[in-house]
Amino acid sequence: MSLLLTESFAERGARERARALLDPQSFRELLDPFQRIASPYLAAQGVVAQADDGTVVARGTIGGVRACVVATDGRFLGGSIGEIGGAKIAGALELARRDAERGTPTRLVLALDTGGIRLQEANLAILAVSEICDGIVALRELMPVVALIAGRVGVYGGLSLSTALCSQIIVSEGARVGLNGPDVVETESGLDEMDSSDRPLIWRVTGGRFRFEQGFATELVPDDVAAIRAAVERAFEEPRELGPLLPQSFPDPRLERDVFLRAMEIEP
Amino acid sequence: MIETLSYEYPASDSVQHRAHVGVVASGNCEILLEPAKDGCASIVVRTSVSGFGATWQAVLGRFFTRNPVAVQIEINDFGATPAVVSLRLEQALENAR
């Protein structure tokens, strides 16, 4: 696809991503920035808070059906999830479950771009992640729960666990999905294990295409708004089964590279 | 530590809508702009970079000299340069009109 004909999703902020996913003119934000529900913990730690806590929740329609998009902003503190942002996501999941039980389903999309829990409010954020996981497990019994990982950060940390629980997982080539981020792996296990400045390695091991080939994601999309919108609609209308994870474990990153290369039909 | 700065300017024009622009990210700032009624523009700046009160006053002073609008503005700043702040203010005003 020509670069000039695409409309980047990753280059948008969280609010514009939510707007892009919902049908035109249907966007209506809940708890918008003017409600000023910012994190009360950051200022005391010398960090300026953002009025929406970096998490946008918007109602509207997708394919003409009631929908709710939750989008985290990877630019604000790495898209980290604090108490407020976490409560927004958990609340959206809870309301979607109630809607589904009442027979008026709301399509819920988690457009995540996050490094995981926010260390400045760690305990509350961990609690929030467990609530989010609970919410996803309850909702996926009733309808597809769609995770869309198509931002510049990707998904790491606690929210990667939540992502893995979603029944439909859409990833872009530029996005990454992993439990520990490259910096964390390098710090904890040393440069031999992972050089966090080696971008090709990082994408080989945690990149969207590899995760898709590995069977972790249900769909791989280019960084294009129209393609992503179509994939999200498909995820609700014709949900896909996740393939078996192949292979089951990756003791050695070099093995991951070989699997990736074979998946790309290249001899290692 | 975070520095909080407050400014006020006389205002003769008005805007129709509120506007939210920007993001609290490195070298950037978030602006919440709301219409005010009393012929006065009031601005609160929260910034993670302290000691630049005179620079803020110069940037905001120039903006409100050119655009004397009655608004209430909150700025959450994460080290935006004066040029970025000026562009964000223009963007907020454009969206509010």
Q: Which of A13, A50, A77 sits opposite B76 (nearest CB)?
A: A50
Domains of chain B: 3-96 (3.30.230)
| Strand A65-72 to A55-62 pairing | antiparallel
| Chain B residues within an 8 Å CB radius of A43 | 2, 46
Taking an 8 Å cut-off on Cβ atoms, the answer to whether A32 and B20 are in contact is yes
Question: What does the pLDDT read at residue A28?
Answer: 97
Determine the residue among B17, B23, B28, B77 to mutate to test chain A binding: the one whose Cβ has the most chain A Cβ atoms within 10 Å: B23
pLDDT 10s digits, A26-37 = 999 999 999 999
The single-letter code of the amino acid at B5 is L
Cα distance between residue A119 and residue B97, in whole Å: 39
- Report ipTM for this prediction: 0.93
**Contact list, A47 vs chain B (CB under 8 Å):** 2, 48
Question: Any CB–CB contact under 8 A between A47 and chain B?
Answer: yes
In a domain? residue A255: no
- The alpha carbon of residue A238 and the mean position of all alpha carbons in its chain are separated, in whole angstroms, by 20
CATH code at position A211: 3.90.226.10
Q: How confident is the model at residue A223 (pLDDT cuts 50, 70, 90)?
A: very high
Residue A201 domain-assigned (yes or no): yes
Q: Do A205 and A253 contact (CB within 8 A), yes or no?
A: yes
Confidence of residue A242 (pLDDT cuts 50, 70, 90): confident
**Contact status, residue A215 vs residue A243, Cβ threshold 8 Å:** yes
Chain B nearest CA to A252, separation (Å): 35
pLDDT tens digits, residue range B35-63? Answer: 998 889 999 999 999 999 999 999 999 99
What Cα–Cα distance (Å) separates residue A33 from each residue in A96, A177, B22? 22, 28, 11
Q: How many domains does chain A have?
A: 1
The dihedral sign for the CA sequence A128, A35, A145, A114 = negative
Tell me, yes or no, whether A117 lies in a domain.
yes
Q: Is the dihedral of CA A233, A238, A240, A241 positive or negative?
A: positive
pTM of the complete model:
0.90
Q: For A228, left (φ over 0), alpha (ψ -120 to 50), or beta? A: alpha
Q: What share of chain A in percent tops pLDDT 70?
A: 89
Using CB atoms within 10 Å of the CB of residue B10, give its burial: 0 to 12 exposed, 13 to 18 middle, 19+ buried. exposed
For residue A157, tell me if it sits in a domain.
yes
Determine the average pLDDT of the residues in B2-27: 95
pLDDT of residue A4: 73
> How many C-beta atoms lie closer than 10 Å to residue A217's C-beta?
27
Confidence band, pLDDT 50/70/90 cuts, at residue A99: very high
The boundaries of the domain holding residue A129 are 3-243
Give me the helices (H) in chain A, please: 14-21, 83-101, 122-140, 158-165, 182-189, 199-206, 208-213, 225-237, 253-263
Measured between beta carbons, the chain A residues lying within 8 angstroms of B45 are none
Q: Please tell me the predicted confidence (pLDDT) of residue A106.
A: 97
- Top pLDDT among A152 and A262 is at A152
pLDDT computed for residue A6 by the predictor? 87
Residue A258 binned pLDDT confidence (cut-offs 50, 70, 90): low
Nearest CA in chain A to B19: A34
Q: Is residue A228 part of a domain?
A: yes
> For residue A153, which residues of chain B lie inside 8 Å, CB to CB?
none
